[in-house]
Amino acid sequence: MKNKFLFYPYIALLMVAIGSLVTACDGDDEEPIIAPSVTMERIMTTDSNELTIVFTPSESTAGFKYAIGDETDRQAFIQGQLSGIKECEGNGKQTIVFQGLSENEVYTVFACAYNQEGATGPIASIKAKTRNKIEEFPVTKQYVTDHSAAFTLKATSDYFRFAFALGKPGDKKIFEAGVIEGYETKENISEYTANYFDLDANTKYVFYARGFDRLSGIASETQEYAFTTDASGNIPAADLKINYMDMYSGDYTLTPNAYCGKCIVFFSLKDEYKDMIEEELNWRGDMVTMMERWTELNTGMTYKSVGDPLNVTYTTPTLLTTEISNPFGYPLEAYALLYKKDGEVYGIQKFSFSTPPYQEKMGMAKVELKISNITETGAFYEFTPNEYTMGVLMQTFDAEWYEKLLQSSDYYDNYIRDFLYMNGYWNYCHNVSSFTLPERSAEPGKRCYVFYLPMNYNGPGDGWGEVGQMMYTTLEKKD
């Protein structure tokens, strides 16, 4: 009897539940009863002391109750004894922010919906963990001049990516939307210096920056560094004068003003060192340290001078390479690191210029050759270029070798021109009325050919003159 006593009430309760469902379905005109319910989802935010939860009630819901606690509070919520229970009427979607929480803590949010008759639906719950408090990564000014500025960002353990841009006051929204001009990102980089050039003097700017969390990818609050560029005038600055320039090299005079105590400068093709300057394993944008180090290492890419006034004449090494198909009007750049009189870094000044354009009416390059002082091993070659000649390629050949080449299948019409272009000795002719070269590698009593190929200021291609040649015989070896 004891077993039956316990069993029959269970059957009775079961029949009540089934009966309610049957009653709901009994009759053609009655709609089935749908229990009220509410679902929850979390919105990720940056605040470590908040959780933002979106509650979505069903259509049959008249309102819902909710509270936050931990998993052990479930029964207290069911019984209405959990502190902080609140109520929200209607079945519209609600976004609720729970504030004043502990960081890096797991919470449980409970909710229970009810209908117009007060009948409640199932208990809904969601577990959510608050974020670690994100360290604010440091942003520091490296320098600000009248026309340039640089800012350094240093990563913390929370960040794997930076976003940054230079804008004007009021540009925060378009920066955060990623549509501001000059918007950049850097990933997996511990430190980076952003350099900005060609700014307007005495003008207000704002450097915007934010980081993205390593785990969630959520952006930090935007940092704003407002500044005003210097007014031009009583500040260190330099003037760049181009004394001579062709597609390969140039001669420049850099003259810093009386407010400058020292300067370092390097010239290059536009963006030639971009990867070296910006990459994590190189200089990470820190051009100040880079230029100082290059000078200490005497790399040949920089020039250092001290004095008042500073007058630097710098001749670049060969700039353009054979990989550049169009060397005319090719963009070049120079960067001058300027110091104050007390030796403190003032900032970097950038110069932008380009190689000369193609000259449509450039005359043909021509060279006259005179051979003198013939010896057992060669002679002296005196070249006299005309005004259009930028340089001459030359080479000495053994006559017997050359005459055999003429009869072979290897020879073609432009063989010598191509050989000189690839293997000849190059001699600049700018500002040179004539120049003399010695040949000392020939053998005694041998006939020799001197071949030469002049080129005008339009360079390889249309700039070639005609291949010239002259033969002579070295002296017999004396006994």
Predicted confidence (pLDDT) per residue in 203-227, tens digit = 999 999 998 877 767 788 899 999 9
CA distances from 256 to 194, 239, 259, 261 (A): 25, 6, 8, 9
Is pLDDT at 412 greater than 90 in this prediction? yes
- Outline where DSSP puts E strands in 24-138: 38-43, 51-57, 63-69, 86-89, 94-98, 106-114, 120-129
Which pLDDT does position 295 carry in this prediction?
A: 83
Which pLDDT does position 321 carry in this prediction?
A: 59
Dihedral of alpha carbons 386, 388, 391, 395, sign: negative
Q: What is the pLDDT of residues 65-123, one digit of tens each?
A: 999 999 999 999 999 999 999 999 999 999 999 999 998 899 999 999 999 999 999 99
Q: How far is CA 141 from the centre of its chain?
A: 19
Task: Work out the percent of the chain whose per-residue pLDDT is above 70.
Answer: 86
Q: What is the pLDDT of residues 270-306, one digit of tens each?
A: 898 899 999 988 999 999 999 999 888 876 555 555 5
Is pLDDT at 245 greater than 90 in this prediction? no
CA distances from 160 to 218, 233, 404, 448 (A): 11, 41, 67, 67
Which pLDDT does position 322 carry in this prediction?
A: 58
- Segment among 30-34, 185-189, 290-294, 323-327 with least mean pLDDT: 30-34
Is pLDDT at 2 greater than 60 in this prediction? no
Which pLDDT does position 89 carry in this prediction?
A: 95
Letter for the amino acid at 301? M
Task: Work out the percent of the chain whose per-residue pLDDT is above 90.
Answer: 63
The phi and psi torsions of 333 (rounded to 5 degrees) equal: -150, 155
Alpha-carbon distance of 416 to 286, in angstroms, equals 48
Which pLDDT does position 325 carry in this prediction?
A: 73
How confident is residue 40, by pLDDT bands cut at 50, 70 and 90? Answer: very high
Q: What is the pLDDT of residues 145-161, one digit of tens each?
A: 999 999 999 887 767 78
Which pLDDT does position 13 carry in this prediction?
A: 30
* Residue 417: exposure state from Cβ atoms within 10 A (0-12, 13-18, ≥19): middle
Mean pLDDT of 250-268: 85
SS3 417: helix
